Amino acid sequence: MSGPLVVVGDALLDIDLEGTADRLTPDAPVPVLENLVEHARPGGAGLAALMAVRDGHDVVLVTALGDDESGARLERLLAGAGVTVLRLPYDGPTSVKQRVRAAGQSLLRLDTGSQPGRVLDVPAVVAEAVGGAGAVLVADYGRGVAAVPRLREVLASLPRRVPVVWDPHPRGSDPVPGMRLVTPNRGEAEQFARRVDASVPEDGSMLARARRHADCLVARWQAQAVAVTLGSRGALLSYGQGAPVVTPAPSVHCVDPCGAGDRFAVSAALALRDGRVTTEAIAEAVVRAAGYVAAGGPASLTDHVSGPRAGRLSAEELVAGVSANGGTVVATGGCFDLLHAGHVATLRAARQLGDCLVVCLNSDASVTRLKGPSRPLVPAADRARVLEALEFVDAVVVFEQDTPAEVLKRIRPHVWAKGGDYAGTDVPEAAVLEEWGGQAVVLPYLQGRSTSRLVQSAAERAAGHDVNTATDKEIMR
């Protein structure tokens, strides 16, 4: 629906001090950091707002900032990124979290302004902004904004057509009754459920426990649904009864998961605003959260807070993030015109070779030149969408040329996986991979599976003829 995403919650100032650590101090076994560089970005509800505005959406942030330099700096960062900031009158300090880091790893965190103050009033402009939202995300970081009675009244009065997603915090407030979706992580869900009912059984598998916690919280919070995020395992969605919906996460290389929960909640809220049903919104949120951590987590945002940027995470961004964190980028390619079991087996095997898989997909014109005027059977946009729906495919790049050489030079994967009958022969793209030290490999394929054979079989069945059983080694095409 129309209207901006309104983020309501506690904004923080996050600062990363990045340095190099090549030696220990002589007086203690601790690293010496040199060449320190400071990176500041919005945190908490501010991070959620930044993510949404970078996706190309209109975003309003309702938050409480201290009357101090940290608050002014945080507001400048948000405004510079394109977020409309509505400040609540507040008598406390701005919360600042500083992480000291080296080689992508956190060594120490220093927190200031941890003791929250009081929100003194809710101006009419804030109530009007929430009332005009296309969707609302409550990013509760336990500092009191989500507990303000007047704000809770405004949220409770929103029409049901306006989706409200509540991302809770153990030190925060219970969600307002009637929320469309509440998104605790697994540990938070367990804490909340134990507070509600200490007799909730804790035996059984991880999914069984998460389902019981989610069911308990749907009833407690009177929420329409609760999605428990499970980290690398995806998310479990409960409506309070019946079998839960579990959405697995793509397997990605992750060094810094900070902010993954915000990415999940933001993506779910935006998908619900755009008319997706809850299960679709969760599927979108799981994929976006995985892409975020694969791209480096908060590091992927640090250099982009000066302005909004629309669109999904591109293949180039995904590859850059995985490579920067020491991961292995795998690519494969083909026409994938009618996806079949041979494709699936090869794609799954390719993904197991590294930390992300990029599929280089022949455009419609390219397929026609290679296969003849009757192909493709499925247009490139639909072929890409089907491939992106596979949990082991992280990105798809459509190319216009007859070979993927140019796109390979652009994304520079570490591994090029070729499906089909190339064992013991020269892989056409091998020379291109050698330019940057990459390696071309051949993967086994399922004998007898090919798009050409499927088309032939369908035509012969339609004509009432026996199916030709001749083999076709054209697996990846």
CA distance 314 to 298: 16
- How many alpha carbons fall within 13 Å on the CB side of residue 344? 9
Tokens of 243: 């079998």
Token pair 């991880």 in the structure block, residue = 206
- How many alpha carbons fall within 13 Å on the CB side of residue 364? 8
Residue pair 395/315 in contact (Cβ under 8 Å)? The answer is yes
Q: E strands within 160-313?
A: 164-167, 181-182, 226-229, 235-238, 245-247
Tokens of 422: 């190339």
> Is 421 an active-site residue?
no
CA distance 372 to 118: 70
CA distance 126 to 371: 59
55 membership: H or E segment, kind and range: none
Tokens of 310: 């629309």
Give residues with Cβ within 8 angstroms of 179, minimum separation 6.
Answer: 138, 164, 165, 166, 221, 223, 224
Residue type, 86: L
Catalytic residue among 10, 256, 262, 394: 262
CA distance 184 to 186: 7
Catalytic positions, please?
262
